[in-house]
A and B are shown apart, each in its own frame.
Chain A
Amino acid sequence: MAEIIERLEMNHITKRFPGVLALDDVTMNLQKGEVLALLGENGAGKTTLMNILYGLYHQDEGNVLLNDKKIQVQGPLDALEYGIGMVHQHFMLVPNMTVLENIALGMYQRTRFKMDLEKVRKRVLEVADRYNLTVKPDAYIWQLSVGEQQRVELVKVLTLGANLLILDEPTAALTPQQTDALIDLLRQMITQDTSIIFISHKLNEVKAVSDRVAVLRNGGLVFEGATKDHSAEDLAEKMAGREISYPKTSKKEEYGRPILQIEKVVAEGDQGTDSLQGVSVEVRSGEIVGIAGVSGNGQRELADVINGIRPVKEGRIQLDGVDISNYNPQQIIDLGMGYIPEDRMHEGTIPSFTVRENLIMKDYRQEPLAKNFFLRKGQIDDHAASLIDSFKVKTPSMATSCASLSGGNIQKVILAREITRKPKALVAAYPIRGLDIGASEYVHSQLIQAREEGMAVLLISEELDELLDLCDRIAVMYEGKVLDVLPREECTKQELGLLMAGVSHGKE
């Protein structure tokens, strides 16, 4: 076991990437038994700073002191030797191994010859039980939703016994209750010789969990102070460097005709069981209907069946009066369906393709972009230039590959493509997951715009603030069923949270 970390200092850290000053003379410290929240927009340098601490990068200038001894972490394994463990925003899991095997991987380096998986299982279940994080030890990672995978990551690093935890947006996939439980747990953990660096965009959580907060902007430390002395609004402004207000929708008197009608749909999940067990939802023109729920309760399957990617076993889906159940994706797209998928890196875009190529993914055969089997470069360039301009995509050029854009800009590429196609219905799955405040604000304003233009928007999310800001009605999904569809006015956070945890409204 690693030595207990009494005090960690990062002094005058500077890191340059080609052409960019990623970190500029950042000084930060952390005491035992403390939760430090690290705030900043995407690109502010949070991840770079943590990667230096974790040994993935080395600083160009400055030093790191651990218990007043200078250290240079060589890599993740080395970091664990020092007791530093990290849960990454992008999961570091092997998809075709089980949960148990993935966790065992982290211990494999410390054992010789034989790996006692049963021992690991016991330890994992112990940790999972103690921290109230349910995981399925024998499920394969590829079968799990993003949210479930995040839970595996948490259990993994806890099992490996780190005593300084770096959590990069750990609550992104948790229900409010689970988030509260995690916050309680983190508060408990710090009483037992543990310290935590907590990276998040969610200021409410930062307020609840942290003792101190440090804000990075454009690679520099712009603020550091005790959390209790500053309001969430205050911190948001420090992060963005300007005033922030999330757009909200207001109640409408009248809605249009029903556009997307999902009737008692049953469909299989990847594990071969019915992940959708008779789901019914209806979205009208000019309406945003939210699907709340912890991810892994059938949301992915729901988005898949609507878009023709997964077969409908029973039930019926109609798009503007046309039965589209088991149509192929192309037919559904042609009938006027837009889709912002959960996996924006590998489903919503092709990372190795340029921004320009990604913008024509659904229209590459249509005039004016193409004619007689030939792509028309001039038209495609104009199309790209106008979308990049009107959706404010920050990219060096339209010929830059999507892989080198930030998450927010990738999402803008997808939004630009989907919304300008003017679909009748739009399915948006976790559209702001992992995005910073500025980008989230933008995505929301676009969804509201789509609503104003009469689109029927189905918004799948686990962020209650997002749902309450945008949705006209909210349905809660739990274990493949929709529990209740409530008008927004009748929803409270507590109630939705209970429904997401499977406690049915007014019963039980």
Chain B
Amino acid sequence: MEKNKADNYRYLAVSVIIVLASLLIALLLGAFLFLIAGANPFEAYGVMLTQPLDGLFGITEMLVRAAPLMLVGLGIAIAFRSGILNIGGEGQIMLGVIFGTAVGLALPEMPKIVLVPVIFLSAFIGGGIWAGIAGWMRAYLNVNEILSTVMLNYIAIQVYLYLLRGPLIDPKEVSYGTGVPQSAPLPEAAWLTRFIRGFRLHSGLVIAIVLAVIVFLFLWKTTVGYRMRAVGAEPKAATYSGMNVKRNLVLAMVLSGGFAGMAGAVEVLGVHHRALESISAGYGFSGIVVALFGGLHPLGIIPASAVFGLLIVGSDMMQRAVEVPASIILAIQGLIILAIVSSNIFLRNPKLRDRLFKLLGGGKEAKIDPEGGRA
């Protein structure tokens, strides 16, 4: 038995080695981008990866970014695990912001203990409805959800911009004639607590971590979570055992969008205290990378969102220090996605796994079915 356990750890180590190796390759390719941009890659990576950790400002900012990334990532993971792809995080964030802000502005007198949950709930509903549309179209009309979620993004963005310039605009912007497209500030009771004076780090991070644990419990410890994973893993078998695949697809999408919506609420309540034009900063897309990087597992997504928070803050700092465009970070993010996605192929290659496994000294005792081949 003990021997078997050691082998299990070796198998885990094999996976970790493969993922780390592919990340290293991504960073190496990124180094060429830096060279082309005329920067020293060592210096650039040095700034990007270490400077944010050097001081309270960098660390808190990293965690401020991590909170919405984590929420979007959790939503994406729920959808992916249930066999439906959600590329519409961006639009769902917008809907979350609209619903959350509107409700927050409509209830100026509420005490904090009621107001914050109500806003989160409305943001959840906003994002959930938006994603639910795509889920419903996929389940009952067989419309590809990648197409529909991406298209719904465009609609959401335009609706959002319209609302910020019209119905939702801060009355002061109109009376002063400045016309900046942003909503009125939310009542102070809606603001999330900031932990350290002078820094933006707020309780949204705690909310996100708690929700990550809840998602973990939901997916692996409840009957509904079991059903959703079954539907995602093998719809045919799910149908066979009496599960309603279509209804589960819609549910998965609603939950997924709900989490993106809550990411919007976190940004409004924690950082800006109002809705403004470029509130999402691409979290809807980065969240997909976070979810994949975290292995589509809630407890992997927590550290993954911190890593991506670091990359975002680090790239801002790098831009100033090494003078390369921050958009290069987008390219590096792209490389990382490619690396993670392609590492899957190696993870599934039994020959490679066996070789690494043997190198680590494993498999001396364990019995593995030879005809199965993929133990």
Contacts and interface: CB of A to CB of B under 8 A. Distances in A.
Interface of A: 17-20, 22, 42-43, 45, 47-48, 219, 307, 309, 328-330, 332-334, 339, 341, 343, 346-353, 357, 360-362, 364-365, 370, 373-375, 377, 396, 403-406
Given A20-B368, A404-B375, A329 B223 contact: no
B177 interface: no
Interface stretch (B116-124, B227-235, B283-291): B227-235
Q: Which 6 A-B pairs have the closest CB atoms?
A: A18-B363, A330-B242, A22-B370, A19-B366, A361-B241, A350-B234
B130 interface: no
B244 A330 contact: yes
9 contacts: A17-B354, A18-B368, A219-B370, A339-B240, A364-B226, A374-B221, A374-B223, A377-B221, A403-B372
A342 to B, nearest CB: 11
Given A353-B233, A375-B226, A17 B368 contact: yes
B374 A328 contact: no
Contacts of A22: 370
B370 A45 contact: yes
Contacts of B238: 350
Contact of A346 (B237, B242, B363, B374): B237
A341 B240 CA distance: 9
Contacts of B197: none
Given A18-B368, A346-B234, A361-B230, 13 more contacts: A20-B367, A20-B369, A42-B371, A43-B371, A329-B239, A329-B243, A334-B242, A349-B234, A350-B237, A352-B233, A377-B221, A403-B374, A404-B368
B236 interface: yes
Nearest to A400: B375
Interface string B336-375: 0000000000000000001001100011111111111111
Interface of B: 4, 7, 221-224, 226-227, 229-230, 233-234, 236-244, 354, 357-358, 362-375
Contacts of A348: 237, 240
Contact of B367 (A343, A396, A405): A396
Contact of A361 (B237, B357, B367): B237
A375 B242 contact: no
B240 A347 contact: yes
A375 B242 CA distance: 18
Contacts of B227: 364
B151 to A, nearest CB: 25
A219 B369 CA distance: 12
B221 A375 contact: yes
Nearest to A334: B242
Contact of B374 (A343, A365, A377, A404): A404
Given A18-B358, A329-B241, A373 B222 contact: yes
A19 B368 contact: yes
Contact of A18 (B229, B371, B375): B375
Contacts of A353: 229-230, 233-234
Nearest to A18: B363
Contacts of A339: 240
Nearest to B218: A373
Contacts of A332: 242
A43 B7 CA distance: 22
Contacts of A357: 226, 230
A350 B226 CA distance: 12
Given A329-B241, A347-B240, A375-B222, A43 B230 contact: no
A43 B369 CA distance: 7
Q: Which of B234, B237, B354, B365 has most A Cβ within 10 Å?
A: B237
Contacts of A307: 240
Contacts of A20: 367-370
Contact of A328 (B222, B242, B371): B242
Nearest to B373: A17
Nearest to B217: A374
A362 B241 CA distance: 5
A47 B373 CA distance: 11
B6 to A, nearest CB: 12
Contacts of B367: 19-20, 396
A361 B239 CA distance: 11
A7 B370 CA distance: 28
A183 B373 CA distance: 31
Contacts of B237: 346-350, 361
A347 B364 CA distance: 35
A421 to B, nearest CB: 11
Contacts of B368: 17-20, 404
Given A47-B371, A330-B243, A343 B366 contact: no
Contacts of A42: 371
A135 B297 CA distance: 45
A350 B374 contact: no
A371 to B, nearest CB: 9
A19 B371 contact: no
A77 B243 CA distance: 42
B15 to A, nearest CB: 14
Nearest to B237: A350
B239 A309 contact: yes
Contacts of A347: 234, 236-237, 240
Nearest to B350: A17
B234 A405 contact: no
A19 B233 CA distance: 29
A405 B372 contact: yes
A405 B369 contact: yes
